[in-house]
């Protein structure tokens, strides 16, 4: 298992580098996030030991379960799943440094209230539903700018960028449209010169579409399957049934 993970990681890092070269980008501009849902702490540690620094979980329960095992190894943890407001406390307790999946004002406000009471701040990204699929979370693209403006007013939340899950399709040009849409929202938001707002990050691209995402400006690609293998649950388990 260990060798397989290291081998897969090597391939992914090469794919990232190749995609960067193809689009005249510096590979240092693109960070790999290990999407670690269902992956054991033991296997996550193998990837971290090889030099990876960033993981992302979809469920608070999994963060809890792996916390003790992972706390001795230096890494950063982002939350990339659907976040229910009653789980906010735990997100803060387990040292999540960024919530990439802020997709509604209610969530942002409750997160802010909690942070105020704990005298803390956190990084967030706004998740946009660029594929217009019912099955996916994320703010509607037409409402993204308004949400960004509202969240930017909450002083404990530092918006670092935008996140999306591209359309699942073998038609690359349709997938590309999702990433271009996210990029256009970033440019629009930055052009508005909203106080304290500079969206730098575009978190987009996964095992199947990271090349397209990098060509369209991704700064973080989130990869699970291509490194750790197939998961037991289909993605719908994580994406449209909410927190379990």
Ligand X SMILES: *Cc1c(COP(=O)(O)O)cnc(C)c1O
User: Which residues form the interface with ligand X (CB under 6 A)?
Assistant: 35, 37, 58, 80, 165, 206-208, 222-226, 238
Query: Which residue, 1 or 192, is less far from ligand X as judged by CB?
Result: 1
Q: How far is the CB of 195 from ligand X (least distance, A)?
A: 29
**One-character DSSP codes across 157-180:** EEEEEEE------S-HHHHHHHHH
Cα-based distances in Å from 236 to 37, 68, 184, 192, 210: 13, 28, 27, 35, 20
Query: Which residue, 34 or 157, is less far from ligand X as judged by CB?
Result: 34
The residue number with the shortest CB distance to ligand X is: 224
- Measure CA of the first residue to CA of the last residue in the chain; give whole Å: 28
Query: Which residue, 83 or 156, is less far from ligand X as judged by CB?
Result: 83
Query: Which residue, 161 or 224, is less far from ligand X as judged by CB?
Result: 224
Q: How far is the CB of 162 from ligand X (least distance, A)?
A: 13
Q: How far is the CB of 64 from ligand X (least distance, A)?
A: 18
Query: Which residue, 27 or 208, is less far from ligand X as judged by CB?
Result: 208
Q: How far is the CB of 101 from ligand X (least distance, A)?
A: 7
Q: Look at the block and give the residue holding tokens 């979809």.
A: 58
Length of the chain: 244
Of 241, 210, 243, whose CA–CA distance to 224 is shortest? 210
The DSSP 8-state label assigned to residue 27 in this structure reads G
Please calculate the CA angle 187-15-208 and round it to the nearest 5 degrees. Answer: 75
Q: How far is the CB of 146 from ligand X (least distance, A)?
A: 23
């Amino acid at each position: 298992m260990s060798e397989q993970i290291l081998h897969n990681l090597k391939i992914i890092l090469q794919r990232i580098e190749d995609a960067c070269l193809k689009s005249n980008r510096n590979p240092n501009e693109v960070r790999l996030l290990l999407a670690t849902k269902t992956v054991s702490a033991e296997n996550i540690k193998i990837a971290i030991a090889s030099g990876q620094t960033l993981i992302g979980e979809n469920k608070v329960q999994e963060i809890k379960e792996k916390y003790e095992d992972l706390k001795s190894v230096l890494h950063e943890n982002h939350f990339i799943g659907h976040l229910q407001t009653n789980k906010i406390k735990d997100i803060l307790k387990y040292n999540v440094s960024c919530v990439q999946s802020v997709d509604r004002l209610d969530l942002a406000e409750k997160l802010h209230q909690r942070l105020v009471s704990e005298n803390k701040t956190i990084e967030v990204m706004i998740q946009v539903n660029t594929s217009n699929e019912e099955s996916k979370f994320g703010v509607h693209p037409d409402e993204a700018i308004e949400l960004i403006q509202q969240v930017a007013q909450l002083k404990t939340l530092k918006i670092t960028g935008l996140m999306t899950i591209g359309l699942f399709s073998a038609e690359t040009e349709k997938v590309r449209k999702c990433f271009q849409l996210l990029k256009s929202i970033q440019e629009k938001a930055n052009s508005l010169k909203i106080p304290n707002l500079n969206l730098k990050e575009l978190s987009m691209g996964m095992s199947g579409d990271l090349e397209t995402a990098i060509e369209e400006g991704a700064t973080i690609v989130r990869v699970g399957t291509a490194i750790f293998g197939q998961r037991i649950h289909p993605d719908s388990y994580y994406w449209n049934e909410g927190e379990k």
